[in-house]
Structure 1
Amino acid sequence: MSERLSDLYAARVAEGQIEADAAQEDALPEFDRILEALEQPRKGGLFRKAPPPPRGLYLWGGVGRGKSMLMDLFVELCEARARRVHFHAFMQEVQEGVHAERKKGTEDPIKPVAKGISDSVRVLAFDEMQITDIADAMIVGRLFEKLFDAGCVVVTTSNRVPDDLYKDGLNRQLFLPFIALLKERMVVHELASERDYRQDRLAGAESYFSPANAEARSEIEAVWDRLSGGREETLTLTVQGRSLELARFSNGVARASFYELCGKALGPADYLKLAETVRVLILENVPQLGRSNFNEAKRFVTLIDALYEAKTRLIVSAAAEPEYLYVEGSGAFEFERTASRLREMQSEGWGA
């Protein structure tokens, strides 16, 4: 019999690596039933049918409740049978595959893309399922239907219940069958922990480092290590047909430099997509702002507004304290609101 996640969880608790949590423990049997079913052969024998694949798992709940940690343990036990990928990155790959098939003139471009995925992996483990892009919303139903029919098992985390996916999205009525499919093929389980472990890791920690010197870099590195657990990947967001790439991303936490986000021709749509995708943004090396970098300063203001409205946690290293970042030139007066927001975003429990 395969190792159970409940056994591994108990061992890690005993070792002091994780802290026992009743809500997390309630979710463990769902992972165990999937692991047990995966031990069964995928193909049937000469005179018997293959067993049906187990229902997947849709694990949802608030930010920082331990969903990604449980997924890490599950994937560890699955070994080569599972592919762990952030949902946005996965859909980006799918869109590229569909585009390539269309260029070849394939009548049903989703079919070969789905087959390529189901032939290569038994379990798809997604971080943070959320759908905000209409292009994703229009293909995800048929894609997942084919993956499920091919015997793929899907395990995903999300911050929202299935009924709230693509909420208020364009042509949402066309998306509703996908929600019904998720409920049919996956067990929906709420991780209702009262404790936000991500906030715990940030509790009492500084979130604004000035000046942006070697000491600030060291502090930022420590925060990143704490939040990422040493695991990172690239996140690609599609915004109005363009790609916004974040080279360093882990468990809903993104890390980027000021010039990566404000030195390029990005606009409100890019920052809104970023703010609704990540839960924590680490922004490094914000320079002194003024006449010489007026356009970059305007983008910075727009970025902070988007993060503020989305309640995204912000950790910053900057050349000066918020009130002294932008002291001369056109826009300095308007920046007072941004400085105020930066101060508010440093307060204990902000964004909880």
Structure 2
Amino acid sequence: MDVASLYDSRAREGRLKPDSAQRALLPYLDRLQAEIEDPPRRGLFRKPQPVRGLYLWGGVGRGKSMLMDLFLDALGSKVPTRRQHFHAFMQWVQAALARVRATGAEDAILPVADEIAVEARLLALDEMQVTDIADAMILGRLFQRLWSQGVTLLTTSNRPPSDLYKDGLNRALFLPFITMIEQNCEVVELASPTDHRQGRLVGSQRYFCPVNAETRAAMNALWADLAHGQAKPATLRVYGRDVEIPAFHNGSARASFYDLCGRPLGPADYLALAGTVRVLLIDEIPRLSSENFNQARRFVTLIDALYEARVTLFASAAASPDRLYVEGEGSFEFARTASRLMEMQAADWGRVTEGQGVAEPSATKL
């Protein structure tokens, strides 16, 4: 089934809301599907020729991630594919470069690119947004090698290629990568006037207490609206360790307090989580005290990371923020966390409302 047929089928089933701007992009996705399933060849026994990829860009909530995943569902297992959030992909690349350099290799980029090319003919990266100079300086050579090896890129972004790494340090060195994107990908804007995600979040209650059947039902209803029954477990790879996310869909994640704070996670783990998700549901935050001090300390670190990244937070808890940690070691310092939790309940809080997009790592490895 091609992408357009699958789109129409899901629209009839009520699994997506039809959008004329999304429909306008379906021929581009159908072209990519047809060519990557049966790539052109030069000569009867020659290797398949590289297939020109697709760079989808547009505002938050317009359905870019949904269209990427629709494409991957239509493609199925016909083509070896690697699908990741761009932030998580670059974390992996930096770790892989460090691993290769440790072997004494003079040029680590080529073997890392070749490792990706052996794994995948299609590289699907959600929410390309270059802000880190270390990432910016390696992207050109990395993708030059990937494209020379026949890897096709499908990516989404909130920005056109010309705005990537805008005002970044030494941006002139990054400009050749922009040219390569434009040469190796069709650049198409998803110019829908509708933010399909906004209505789900603005005005919704964000903090539920105490934990009881009513508040559990409210959290379940929010999650049903965000995930549509399509959530899957996901794994963040952080410095060689796996951080499990029990449920993830379209940039929204759900986990219990004990999933996130009952295990020995640290700042790097929480920063990776905050950099990957845009909406997070945390279930059943308990009262905190000196008896669960380590969990409380992790919770403080988690909220700091979510706050700085402006992640939209929904939570159920045993008490209101100012009553979560009222006595014992650490209770005084927790006042800042309580204040942040209350600030994060505002209807206009979060990256979704700032036009920064929501990502969807549908693969189990981020």
Which is worse superposed, 309-318 or 78-87?
Answer: 78-87
Q: Deviations over 1:231-285 (max 9, x none)?
A: 32434265xx686724344322233343554564634x66555434321112233
- The answer (yes or no) to whether the contact 2:236–2:273 under 8 Å persists in 1 is no
Number of residue pairs matched by the alignment: 346
The whole-number CA distance in structure 2 between the counterparts of 1:335 and 1:288 is 12
2:161 maps to what in 1?
162
Q: Deviations over 1:140-188 (max 9, x none)?
A: 3222111112222111122344344445666555434323322222222
1:197 alignment partner, SS class: coil
> What is the TM-score when the length of structure 2 is the normalising length?
0.78
- 1:76 and 2:73 equivalent? yes
Which is worse superposed, 119-128 or 335-344?
Answer: 335-344
- 1:230 and 2:230 equivalent? yes
The whole-number CA distance in structure 1 between the counterparts of 2:165 and 2:233 is 24
Aligned-pair CA distance for 1:124: 1.7
1:56 aligned residue (53, 57, 67): 53
Aligned-pair CA distance for 1:118: 2.5
Q: Which residue type is aligned with residue 54 of structure 2?
A: L
1:281 maps to what in 2?
280
Q: 1:220 to 1:214 in 2, by over 3 A?
A: same
1:196 alignment partner, SS class: coil
Aligned-pair CA distance for 1:286: 2.0
- The answer (yes or no) to whether the contact 1:246–1:255 under 8 Å persists in 2 is no
* Identical aligned residues as a percent: 55
| Structure 2 gap ranges (5+) | 354-366
1:192-207 equivalences in 2 (<5 Å):
192-202=191-201, 205-207=204-206
- The answer (yes or no) to whether the contact 1:127–1:251 under 8 Å persists in 2 is no
- 1:8 and 2:2 equivalent? no
Q: Deviations over 1:108-153 (max 9, x none)?
A: 4333332343244322222222345555444332221111122221
Q: How big is the alpha-carbon RMSD for the aligned residues of Structure 1 and Structure 2?
A: 3.5
- The answer (yes or no) to whether the contact 1:82–1:125 under 8 Å persists in 2 is no
Aligned-pair CA distance for 1:75: 0.8
- 1:18 and 2:9 equivalent? no
- The answer (yes or no) to whether the contact 2:39–2:50 under 8 Å persists in 1 is no
2:153 alignment partner, SS class: strand
1:31 maps to what in 2?
29
Q: Deviations over 1:176-230 (max 9, x none)?
A: 4323322222222232333332333345644322223465445434534443342
- The answer (yes or no) to whether the contact 2:288–2:324 under 8 Å persists in 1 is yes
The whole-number CA distance in structure 1 between the counterparts of 2:174 and 2:235 is 24
> What is the TM-score when the length of structure 1 is the normalising length?
0.80
- 1:45 and 2:43 equivalent? yes
1:255 maps to what in 2?
254
2:42 alignment partner, SS class: coil
2:314 maps to what in 1?
315
The whole-number CA distance in structure 2 between the counterparts of 1:235 and 1:190 is 30
The whole-number CA distance in structure 1 between the counterparts of 2:109 and 2:80 is 21
Q: Which residue type is aligned with residue 56 of structure 1?
A: G
Aligned-pair CA distance for 1:57: 1.4
Which is worse superposed, 109-118 or 310-319?
Answer: 109-118
| Structure 1 gap ranges (5+) | none
Q: Which residue type is aligned with residue 211 of structure 1?
A: P
Q: 1:85 to 1:225 in 2, by over 3 A?
A: farther
Aligned-pair CA distance for 1:69: 1.3
2:362 maps to what in 1?
none
Higher relative contact order (CA 8 A, sep 6+): 2
Q: 1:166 to 1:146 in 2, by over 3 A?
A: same
Aligned-pair CA distance for 1:18: 1.5
1:266 maps to what in 2?
266
Q: 1:146 to 1:262 in 2, by over 3 A?
A: same
Q: Which residue type is aligned with residue 125 of structure 1?
A: A
Q: Deviations over 1:303-341 (max 9, x none)?
A: 434434433210112111223223335665665554454
Q: 1:120 to 1:298 in 2, by over 3 A?
A: closer
Q: Which residue type is aligned with residue 177 of structure 2?
A: F
1:139 maps to what in 2?
138
Aligned-pair CA distance for 1:349: 4.7
Q: 1:97 to 1:114 in 2, by over 3 A?
A: same
The whole-number CA distance in structure 2 between the counterparts of 1:242 and 1:172 is 30
1:117 maps to what in 2?
116
Q: 1:116 to 1:299 in 2, by over 3 A?
A: closer
- The answer (yes or no) to whether the contact 1:253–1:280 under 8 Å persists in 2 is yes
